[in-house]
Amino acid sequence: MGAVTDAINAELVKLHADDTAPGLGELASSLARSVDEADAPTAKAAAARELRAVMADLRRLAPVGEEGDTVDDIAAQREKRRAAAREQAASGG
Model pTM greater than 0.75? no
Residue 67 DSSP symbol: S
Domain extent for 61? 3-65
Cα four-point dihedral sign 38, 42, 46, 52: positive
Q: Which of 24, 49, 48, 25 is nearest to 36 (CA)?
A: 48
In a domain, 49, yes or no: yes
CA–CA dist 28, 53 (Å, integer): 9
| Confidence band for 35, pLDDT divided at 50, 70 and 90 | very high
Residue 50 lies in a domain: yes
Instruction: Kindly state whether residue 93 falls inside one of the protein's structural domains.
Output: no
Question: pLDDT per residue over 7-27, tens digit each?
Answer: 999 999 999 999 999 999 999
Distance, in Å, from the CA atom of 51 to the CA atom of 23, rounded to the nearest integer, reads 13
Q: Quote the number of domains for the chain.
A: 1
Report if residue 89 sits inside a domain.
Answer: no
Q: Is residue 77 domain-resident?
A: no
The residue among 80, 83, 23, 27 whose CA lies nearest residue 50 is: 27
